Amino acid sequence: MNRNPHVAIVGATGAVGIEMIQTLEKRNFPVGKLTLLASARSAGKTLKFRGADITITELTKDSFAGIDIALFSAGGGISKEFAPIAAKAGCVVVDNSSAFRQDENVPLVVPEINAADVKKHKGIIANPNCTTAITLMALYPLHQAFGVKRVFASSYQAVSGTGAQAIEELKRQVGQVVSGQPVTKEVYPHQIAFNVLPQVDSFLPSGYTKEEMKMENEGRKIMHHANFRASVTCVRVPVYRSHSVAVSAEFEKPITVEAARAVLKNAPGLDLVDEPENKKYPMPLFTSGKDNCEVGRIRVDCALDNGLAFWVCGDQLLKGAALNAVQIAEELLK
């Protein structure tokens, strides 16, 4: 791999694409050249990188000649079509969609957990689901120490997980409700302002949604833990940014709050914010724009054997997407 790689961002104008550009800059990633790719309607616009204007070009089959690393965040359809083309052109793809996560030839990587899996790539590496990534930042260190068997979890997912239009929808609806106007909806099937929607992604025959099954399916692959089980309810909440997850986890070994805190305090990419007596606990408002996830509300679960309940928050555009993708790219250079 080139020490100063030519990097492309596919879906550069989307919420995650913008974060990818800023994350490359913030982490001083040794970008030799940056190419920004998007749909025809964005071509010709410019975005700033290291103070310079970079013109966006249209994504085509010929976009990947000479590119070393391509960070994809333009949806599963685009990834399915263009990631294999990019890989064939000699480029390593880090894909943010769900298109390849369950493909056995594609590593699914959270660098703090399974960085070594990067080496097994055949041209494509998958970035995990945002809720899964944020949950595993706290769950995996506990798994290493105590052996997780299963979890029950509920997510509180911010609208920016859906994209830029969803942020606008929440803003618009808040204004409409406050000024007594009728509420209009385009992105979500129901009003999101002052409401919560117990549906993220589409429903499966089991009654779970696709999003809800990602924690079990992706968790097994990332943690190399084939028997891991997760029963999850994913909920969209009227928060702009940062996902939160309430987790009850059952372990093989007995677990105490003190032992759990000691493990979590030393976990990479995670901050322990757990002072209930001072009303200090993780919140989306304070994790937005922050690289590290936060964990708190740690207590022995009173309904499970060897159980621990905790609350974890993280910026899903960063650890759940752009930051994780850039960290994978950093692993590729090692």
List, for residues 193-204, the tens digit of each pLDDT value.
999 999 999 999
Do β-strands 243-251 and 307-314 pair in parallel, antiparallel, or remain unpaired? antiparallel
Residue 243 appears among annotated catalytic residues: yes
Mean pLDDT to the nearest integer, 278-282: 98
**Mean pLDDT of all residues in the chain?**
97
Domain tally for the chain?
Answer: 2
pTM (global) more than 0.95: yes
User: Does some domain include residue 1?
Assistant: no
pLDDT of residue 320: 95
The candidate with the shortest Cα–Cα distance to 287, out of 274, 301, 270, is: 270
Q: At which residue do the structure tokens 């309430």 appear? A: 246
101 and 146 belong to one structural domain: no
Write the pLDDT tens digit of every residue in 208-239. Answer: 999 999 999 999 999 999 999 999 999 999 99
Residue 224 appears among annotated catalytic residues: no
pLDDT of residue 89: 97
User: Does some domain include residue 13?
Assistant: yes
Residues of the chain above pLDDT 70, percent: 100
Residue 3: how many CB atoms within 10 A of its CB? 8
Write the pLDDT tens digit of every residue in 126-178. Answer: 999 999 999 999 999 999 999 999 999 999 999 999 988 999 999 999 999 99
pLDDT of residue 303: 98
136 and 124 belong to one structural domain: no
Does 93 have pLDDT greater than 90? Answer: yes
Does 247 have pLDDT greater than 90? Answer: yes
Select which of 130, 234, 293, 313 is catalytic: 130
Owning domain of residue 18: 6-128+321-333
The span from the CA of 117 to the CA of 180, in Å, is: 53
Residue 185 CB burial class (10 angstroms; 0-12, 13-18, ≥19): middle
209 and 90 belong to one structural domain: no
Select which of 91, 143, 243, 293 is catalytic: 243
93 and 123 belong to one structural domain: yes
User: Does some domain include residue 285?
Assistant: yes
Q: Which two tokens stand for residue 162?
A: 């859906």
The span from the CA of 94 to the CA of 10, in Å, is: 10
79 and 199 belong to one structural domain: no
pLDDT of residue 169: 98
Cβ contact 200:215 at 8 Å: no
Confidence band of 97 (pLDDT split at 50, 70, 90): very high
Does 1 have pLDDT greater than 90? Answer: no
User: Does some domain include residue 94?
Assistant: yes
Confidence band of 244 (pLDDT split at 50, 70, 90): very high
CATH of the domain at 24: 3.40.50.720
pLDDT of residue 319: 97
The candidate with the shortest Cα–Cα distance to 7, out of 86, 80, 125, is: 86
119 and 146 belong to one structural domain: no
Confidence band of 334 (pLDDT split at 50, 70, 90): very high
Confidence band of 3 (pLDDT split at 50, 70, 90): very high
151 and 121 belong to one structural domain: no
Confidence band of 6 (pLDDT split at 50, 70, 90): very high
Side by side, which strands form the sheet with 69-72? 46-49, 52-58, 33-38, 6-10, 69-72, 92-95, 124-126
pLDDT of residue 109: 98
